[in-house]
Amino acid sequence: MAFSFRRSDFPDDFIFGAATAAYQIEGSSFGGAGPSHWDTFAATPGNVANAETGAVACDHYHRYEEDLDLLRSGGFDAYRFSTSWARVMPDGRNVNPEGLDFYDRLADAVLERGMQPYLTLYHWDLPAALSDLGGWRNRDVASWFADYTKTVMDRIGDRMAAVATINEPWCVTWLSHFWGIHAPGLRDIRAAARSMHHVLLAHARAVEAMRAAGHGNLGIVLNFEHANPASDAAADVAAAARYDGFYNRWFIEAITRKAYPEIILDGFAGHMPNGFEKDMEVIGAPLDWIGVNYYTRSNVAADPEAAWPSLKTVPGPLPKTDMGWEIYPDGLHGFLTRLHRDYTGDTPIIVTENGMAWDDHLVDGRIEDRERIAYFDSHLAAVRGAIADGAPVKGYFGWSLLDNYEWALGYGKRFGMVHVDYDTQKRTPKASFEAFRHAIGGN
Ligand code: FCB
């Protein structure tokens, strides 16, 4: 089964890549990394499926050359990876030279294979020592993050094609401090409000530090989820607007308009850090690109019994992935055109993650992941549609290169274009990987 597009259906300079994240693939027990809040979260009963951790993961720390060879063989132009804060600064302060050496080798290895390195500085591995100090709830996180950013960029910044500060601030904050689903697992509105501001201040201080050091092509990676009212009842429509507010509008409006949406500030009343308004100028400093992660939509209904934001998500009618996520490519088209129209204008947009989990099984040494091929195909059609409608979309990264540690769901959810056997660490490219190779011209 093949894709319905060829590389030539996209603009000449369009970039195809694959994305990963440090904690999900490297193996956090190797190379002198310190514990991150994910190690401690996973070690607490009930937080992660089967109490699985990223201690070994895909052993990418030792196998990165093989993994990059594979990526290159697929014809991909770029590799999006993250550096682990807890690997670079195991106690949150002092540098682990082995950690920086690893990323130095990794950067060279990407370049040696003719690919562009796309760095993400924070994909969720906060050093546990900084979590002890309040992590994202503590305003000082902004200067801690700027220091870490300088440390990483001094070493590898000269070789990065593009740099993102934070991956998915919504997950770092709301999902982790209000819904309690990701580390540190808090369910506290005040923690949510404060972290939602501090994560943006940390982004801003890191950008400031990188600009001062002369680094360019800086961005942030935001995740967007289409908020679909569960019915046309006014209460459900209003609930979906609140969902859109805390999920989709909060971060992009801070960055592009230097203001938070009123409907969310109202809900956070009394919990925002004092004087947060004074930070909005630096938070709104211009960026060179915006990363968009998109997977699904949610069907949102009002829940008047519940405290603010007084809503719940309900199952929808569309076909679902192994995450239970509805497959809704129109949502990607919608966000790409909405960003361009309402927020980012001519600033380049890059789809930094998109993909699906499926219950893949090896049959005679092969994985025929037709569902994943169809998913990628329909979402790449949405990207082409958005480009035709004027959105400056410059690249697309599939999530993910490898099956990996899917956070609170452990190793049970497979998102890779390449299958990983966690007993033997054997990599097997799936049919979706072959489809990319065919469409974008690998060997
Ligand atoms: C995104 C994360 C990524 C991965 C995918 C499935 O929210 O950025 O690490 O878990 O979801």
Query: How does pLDDT run across 325-364, given as a tens digit for each residue?
Result: 999 999 999 999 999 999 999 999 999 999 999 999 999 9
Beta-bridge partners for 224: 294
Q: Is the pLDDT of residue 6 over 70?
A: yes
Mean pLDDT of the 150-160 span: 98
Which residues, 6 or more positions from 28, have their beta carbon under 8 angstroms from its beta carbon? 35, 36, 38, 39, 53, 54, 55, 57, 84, 86, 87, 125
Q: What pLDDT, on the 0 to 100 scale, is given for residue 443?
A: 61
Alpha-carbon separation of residue 382 from 6, 168, 359 (angstroms):
14, 21, 25
Q: Which residues are catalytic?
A: 168, 353
33-77 tens-digit pLDDT: 999 999 999 999 999 999 999 999 999 999 999 999 999 999 999
Distance (Å) from CA 233 to ligand 1 centroid:
32
Cα 163 to Cα 219: distance, rounded to the nearest angstrom: 6
Closest to 368 (Cα-Cα) out of 378, 354, 358:
358
368, burial (CB in 10 Å: exposed 0-12, middle 13-18, buried 19+):
middle
* Closest to 359 in 3D by CA, of 408, 428, 405, 419: 419
Q: Cα–Cα distance between 122 and 132 in angstroms, integer? A: 18
CA-CA distance, 367 to 335, in Å (whole number)? 31
Instruction: Answer yes or no: is the C-beta of 375 below 6 A from any ligand 1 atom.
Output: no
CA of 159 to the centre of ligand 1 (A): 25
Residue 392 half-sphere exposure, CB side, CA atoms within 13 Å? 12
Kindly give the number of the ligand 1 atom that is closest to the alpha carbon of 406: 10
Q: How far apart are CA 336 and CA 273, in angstroms?
A: 31
Answer whether residue 110 shows pLDDT above 80.
yes
415 Cβ below 6 A of ligand 1: yes
User: Residue 406: CB within 6 Å of ligand 1?
Assistant: yes
Residue with structure tokens 């679902």? Answer: 320
- Are 125 and 38 in contact by the 8 Å Cβ rule? The answer is yes
pTM (2 decimals)?
0.98
Ligand 1 mutation target, pool 82, 174, 406, most atoms within 8 A of CB: 406
401-426 mean pLDDT: 98
Ligand 1 lined by 168 (C-beta under 6 Å): yes
77 CB under 6 A from ligand 1? no
Q: Answer whether 292 contacts ligand 1 (Cβ < 6 A).
A: no
Burial class (CB in 10 A: 0-12, 13-18, 19+), 141: buried
Which positions ≥6 away from 112 have C-beta within 8 Å? none
At residue 187, the pLDDT reads 98
Whether the Cβ atoms of residue 360 and residue 419 lie closer than 8 Å to each other: yes
C-alpha of residue 198 to centroid of ligand 1, in Å = 21
* Cβ contact 192:178 at 8 Å: yes
Task: Report whether residue 162 contacts ligand 1, using a CB cutoff of 6 Å.
Answer: no
What is the C-alpha separation between 327 and 331, in angstroms, rounded?
9
Q: Which of 399, 406, 415 to mutate to test the pocket of ligand 1 (most atoms within 8 A of CB)?
A: 399
pLDDT > 90: percent of the chain: 99
Among the atoms of ligand 1, which is closest to the Cα of residue 21?
Answer: 9
